[in-house]
Amino acid sequence: MRKGLVVQKFGGSSVANVERIQNVARRVVSYRNKGYDLVVVVSALGDTTDELIELADKINTGASEREMDMLLSTGEQISVALLAMAIHKLGREAISFTGAQVGIITDTSHTRARIIKINTDKIKEELAKGKIVIVAGFQGVTLNQDITTLGRGGSDLTAVALAKELKADECEIYTDVEGVYTTDPRIEPRARKIKEVTYDEMLEMASLGAQVMQARSIEVAKKFDVPIHVRSSFSDKTGTMIIKEVKRMEDVVVSGVTLNKNEAKITVCDVPDRPGAAAKIFKELSGSGINVDMIVQNVSHTRKTDISFTVPKAQFQKAIKITRKAARNISAGEVIEDQDIGRVSIVGVGMKTHSGVAAKMFEVLALNKINIEMISTSDISISCIIKKKFTEDAVRALHEKFGLGKK
Amino acid sequence: MRKGLVVQKFGGSSVANVERIQNVARRVVSYRNKGYDLVVVVSALGDTTDELIELADKINTGASEREMDMLLSTGEQISVALLAMAIHKLGREAISFTGAQVGIITDTSHTRARIIKINTDKIKEELAKGKIVIVAGFQGVTLNQDITTLGRGGSDLTAVALAKELKADECEIYTDVEGVYTTDPRIEPRARKIKEVTYDEMLEMASLGAQVMQARSIEVAKKFDVPIHVRSSFSDKTGTMIIKEVKRMEDVVVSGVTLNKNEAKITVCDVPDRPGAAAKIFKELSGSGINVDMIVQNVSHTRKTDISFTVPKAQFQKAIKITRKAARNISAGEVIEDQDIGRVSIVGVGMKTHSGVAAKMFEVLALNKINIEMISTSDISISCIIKKKFTEDAVRALHEKFGLGKK
């Protein structure tokens, strides 16, 4: 009896070695034996992608993005073939495909391609034969047959996009944690696994540092209302459901606390307060591929103002160079760097309708004698930049104050 | 000025690490700078293919051939991407392709597919743009878009087939030796590099143990008259030309001496001398994929006869089991195994028109007190099976007697 179609995605740590591949195969087969049609998306084995990047860097640090995609896409191709073999060994029929073979058509933006369309004929054909269909994550192909990749975490996107196109009943994202937590359990042992979370909350958490799922894939899931189940490939426990709307008790205001220590802060002092001055700085930065994240500028009472922003640490050296040059060009003052920061955020759809959440957050930090350097808010999140050494204390204090810990 | 088109093939040892890939890139670019259009075929890095096979074996010793091809084809894909990056680094334009992307269409015999046709449009298009075109060796694709591989040494076949389809002026096979030698220089230091050798001689040498080129690729080169230049990727010296006809001094009878120590001998005693008895044994063996090579049966003077044959060592255990069973079924006698043998052969188109070559060979072996266990001859070769411990002495003695050593 056909029970429905499930798309399952296994990340690199779930297939890091032979034993884990066999473990995934057992899990997939036991699911298949329950009567579900299965499409399985796999990432590259363990650190394969990083190793291939390292190899390429030894040959050409400015490698062409087309050739980089040609190189990196082999990682997932290896995984799908090995998983198919492992499933065959357990006596079940399975067939593996590259992104190109199943017709995951993308644009030509190599290393960060966007999916244009998916031709699902081949998958449906093999599912109809009773086979488990295994698809290489993270990759696609242009209309001109060039291999592309979808950017870091792109296998999540492959899974969600396939779930949408195939009208799957559920999209399971298997990872090395048991679901989405109220905060990082390595920082706060009392962190609780969240049963249900909305797309918006998850998006906010992902962009604020939670590394459970790629943000773009959550956007797609939200857009097409694809239910996602984040769970562990090492246990049978139910994980976290990411869905459109969560029915919660009225008093749940904050769903989680996130921490991001991978950013650095740049402050440009004495920016002339005339239209376009700030724009020039950020135009230079984005033109060079720098991802500027948080930006803070106060209303100025003089003719000059200070602007602070954060960038990923990996891009910091490049960003500071560009900023200094741009600051000179607009006759701004000193440029101050600070790599010793962290961003602590609280996330929750509940805060939309509750006032005083920000005040409560600032109060908690003040009580712990933590100075706030920057503040940024969205509809469902509040972020504070503080000194790095205080970040973990801040996470624990906020987690406690907003009642997120285990009962 | 366009000088002509050359196909260059680099084997796994030529691209075994970063330095060697850079070395190949320099060689390719210096050739390109002379004005040639270039299509470069590359094998997988060093032992990558063996490592992938080992990985597959850990998961499923009886892995599906389709999935095996999916897995193994990644090796060459990695090589072509890295070589393209290395060429870019040297400032030259290059583009890499998988077998599927350039349209190397094969039949569906996974792991040993045959090329049906090659669509050269894409290659010609990129050559016209002035690019060096890099093609993954060893692989193709079925009309149904399944990835296939061409069997061991298949990159040679890719190179020769491309040279034929593109009407290349020459096909260069780069390897870790300087060309084809009169015999293995590790056995006989006085071995000479051969300047020119015919397709037939090369074919015979390849099937008799010389590991310079894959036999199937020489067959294709012969069929379509593709001139091949076997040479070293570590030196600029001219190597060996493999061509249709070689103009030699009349007295060159033997071109080379080969040695194959990778076979084992099986003798079935007292096979009933009736039609079909022997056939039954060989039908069983070939049905199980055993490659029977040399077969010797003497005319029988009684109602029973002995049949001896050789098989590759890797298939010996399987072969002996099948043979014992088949022998019982046809009521033959004892089955004797001998893994302690080697095959010494002399090869040369000259022997067609010279009598007494075989006699001379047997005489040399007799003088060295080497007993001959089996003899097999073709138009241009004579092979003797002897005890393994005598094989290297035999090679040296024959090399000397037929005047092959350095002058």
pLDDT digits (tens, 9 = 90+) for A299-313: 666 778 888 999 999
Please give the Cα distance from A139 to A114 (Å, whole number).
Answer: 10
Phi and psi at residue B393, to the nearest 5°? -60, -40
On whether any CB of chain A is under 8 Å from the CB of B108, the answer is: no
**pLDDT tens figures, A23-43:** 999 999 999 999 999 999 999
**pLDDT for res A251:** 66
Structure token pair of residue A271: 């920016």
Residue of A70, A121, A129 to mutate, interface with B, max B Cβ within 10 Å: A70
The CATH topology of domain A246-407 is VC0802-like (3.30.2130)
On whether any CB of chain B is under 8 Å from the CB of A71, the answer is: yes
**pLDDT for res B377:** 85
On whether any CB of chain B is under 8 Å from the CB of A90, the answer is: no
CATH value of B5-176 in 3.40.1160.10, 3.10.560.10, 3.40.50.300, 1.20.272.10? 3.40.1160.10
On whether any CB of chain B is under 8 Å from the CB of A84, the answer is: yes
On whether any CB of chain A is under 8 Å from the CB of B23, the answer is: no
Q: Is the ipTM of this complex over 0.90?
A: no
Every domain range in chain A assigned CATH 3.40.1160.10: 5-176
Q: How confident is the model at residue B2 (pLDDT cuts 50, 70, 90)?
A: low
Are B59 and A95 an interchain contact pair (Cβ–Cβ within 8 Å)? Answer: no
For residues B41-60, give the mean pLDDT.
Answer: 94
Residue of A42, A55, A57, A59 to mutate, interface with B, max B Cβ within 10 Å: A59
Nearest C-alpha of chain B: how many angstroms from A88?
8
**pLDDT for res B1:** 47
Q: Which residues of B touch A21 (CB under 8 A)?
A: 59
Nearest C-alpha of chain A: how many angstroms from B229?
28
Q: How confident is the model at residue A1 (pLDDT cuts 50, 70, 90)?
A: very low
Please give the Cα distance from B227 to A28 (Å, whole number).
Answer: 52
**pLDDT for res B167:** 95
For tokens 């139910």, name the residue.
A238
Are A59 and B101 an interchain contact pair (Cβ–Cβ within 8 Å)? Answer: no
Are A89 and B60 an interchain contact pair (Cβ–Cβ within 8 Å)? Answer: yes
Q: Looking at chain A, which residue has its C-alpha nearest residue B100? A: A145
On whether any CB of chain B is under 8 Å from the CB of A65, the answer is: no
Every domain range in chain A assigned CATH 3.30.2130.10: 246-407
Q: pTM score > 0.90 for this model?
A: no
Please write down the long-range contacts of A277-282, taking CB distance under 8 Å and 24 or more positions apart.
A277/A330, A277/A332, A278/A307, A280/A326, A280/A329, A280/A330, A281/A307, A281/A323, A281/A326, A281/A327, A281/A330, A281/A332, A282/A309
AA letter at A221:
A
Nearest C-alpha of chain A: how many angstroms from B54?
11
On whether any CB of chain A is under 8 Å from the CB of B86, the answer is: yes
On whether any CB of chain B is under 8 Å from the CB of A55, the answer is: yes
